[in-house]
Amino acid sequence: MAAIKAVNSKAEVARAQAALSVNICAARGLQDVLRTNLGPKGTMKMLVSGAGDIKLTKDGNVLLQEMQIQHPTASLIAKVATAQDDVTGDGTTSNVLIIGELLKQADLYISEGLHPRIITEGFEAAKIKALEVLEEVKVTKEMKRKVLLDVARTSLRTKVHAELADVLTEAVVDSVLAVRRPGYPIDLFMVEIMEMKHKLGTDTKLIQGLVLDHGARHPDMKKRVEDAFILICNVSLEYEKTEVSSGFFYKTAEEKEKLVKAERKFIEDRVQKIIDLKDKVCAQSNKGFVIINQKGIDPFSLDTLAKHGIVALRRAKRRNMERLSLACGGMAVNSFEDLTVDCLGHAGLVYEYTLGEEKFTFIEECVNPHSVTLLVRGPNKHTLTQIKDAIRDGLRAIKNAIEDGCMVPGAGAIEVAMAEALVTYKNSIKGRARLGVQAFADALLIIPKVLAQNAGYDPQETLVKVQAEHVESKQLVGIDLNTGEPMVAADAGVWDNYCVKKQLLHSCTVIATNILLVDEIMRAGMSSLKG
């Protein structure tokens, strides 16, 4: 009888072999769910929420976060995979597959009586060797646009269909190159992702500027302004209540009128300062003038501004204020005391676009924008969601490539090379730990096998071809998923992120090791004592 039963008679317990098989089954179950999603030829999953909302996706991260996983071990693996996504932005599906496969390979040896501890020692040795191989085969290149296009294309094609991926690739790479500033870390929040529900997914495009999801609030204001000055401000242009709660007592009605006028004058003076600045900068030319305010603008002020040909947008979102000054230049002002021409930004074209009930304001043709907008278009909600998830991963892939300064060949090439190196390395290890190294090498091959299987080819036959080609040519050979034949991944422009593979090796080994070393599972929480 388990010792815990003496302490808590209601505790549930799974021991030794039972505990291991429970854990391995959970990992294999999760692996079976995600294995069909891997790679550009992977299939979709449809998630239906309790309210009946549909989500179509093959992004491992989205699946693991949306699925309700009840098994404790499976949810542990899912958390590790989503953490992989948080750190590197990619590699969730591979993570689950490799953990499942490591446990499956280890199970073969454990069922023959090998102790899990010995296998985990082999795993540890194999991980260190695999990381060395990764260091050797990484390709350091100057991250030019062409190279980044290949990296983004490899990432995006595993998330959406090829035609859409090619459209997104250009947009995503150009957006990261626009927001990149020498000497600063790349801030992906400066790429605004705005969605519009119309046209097709392939109409998604990059706007070299900003798109705001509201329009001007006055019918007389121009809908289109060319060659415009932009004033970005955070100043209230409406009546405000006093800061402290106070009451006023009047002797006569005139005094009340006087106070109202004084309050009104306070706002009018502010508006006048904007008008004076506009007259000063636009006196000789017919340039436009646009004011974007984070706080409110009341109808009287809007009317006055409209009469002077100024387009005013109120209640802009705070995140857009920072983006605006980066996109158009100029600076955001918090008071109108010392307004100068230097505070103004500039945009070549500002226009309003109405789509159904919603209005959008486009600020385009900025000279050197450090903040841009990806305008995601699609016919329905789940297409938009799918594209947004893909774009997020694409942006992260490019950021990783620029920060790493190197990449590794994709298409399963790196896994084949590591497995090959580990089989050779195994012979230099004394004792039974070499079985752990062998298990690790076999487990890595799940990636090329599943890639081939998802593309409709025989996994064993394809893998043998690739391995033979790798040994003969001494190059990093992956699988061409269109023909099922071996190909040199680098020549085909299939590149993976170095940091994704590195993180994969670390996290998969740690979790697989921890799960293998569990020899007792107890459900003996406080809740089970209450019955």
Catalytic annotation, pick one of 393, 462, 480, 513: 393
Could you say which DSSP state residue 67 is in? S
Q: Which of 73, 93, 373, 509 is catalytic?
A: 93
Question: Torsion over CA of 90, 92, 97 and 103, rounded to 10 degrees?
Answer: 120
| Residues 323 and 190 sit within 8 Å (Cβ to Cβ) | yes
Please say whether the beta carbons of 85 and 495 come within 8 A: no
Catalytic residue among 59, 150, 389, 496: 59
User: How far, in Å, CA of 159 to CA of 41, rounded?
Assistant: 10
Q: Specify the residue for token string 């034949």.
A: 485
d(CA 314, CA 318): 11
| 458 in active site | no
| 391 CB-near residues (< 8 Å, 6+ apart) | 168, 172, 193, 374, 376
Find out whether 451 and 383 touch, Cβ atoms under 8 Å: no
Q: Is 393 a catalytic residue?
A: yes
- Give the per-residue SS3 of 227-294: EEEEEEECCCECCCCCCCCCCCCCCCHHHHHHHHHHHHHHHHHHHHHHHHHHHHHCCCCCCEEEEEEC
Residue 449, SS3 per DSSP = helix
Residues 6+ apart with CB under 8 A from 485: 465, 479
Q: Under a CB-based contact definition with an 8 Å cutoff, are residues 267 and 238 in contact?
A: yes
Q: Is 154 a catalytic residue?
A: no
Please identify which of the residues 73, 82, 88, 92 carries the catalytic annotation. Answer: 92
Gap between the Cα atoms of 44 and 59, Å rounded: 9
Q: Crossing angle of helices 16-35/498-516, nearest 10°?
A: 150
- Tokens read off for 221: 């204001």
CA–CA separation, 129 vs 136, rounded Å?
A: 11
Helix (H, G, I), strand (E, B) or coil at 521: strand
**Residues annotated as part of the active site:** 59, 92-93, 393
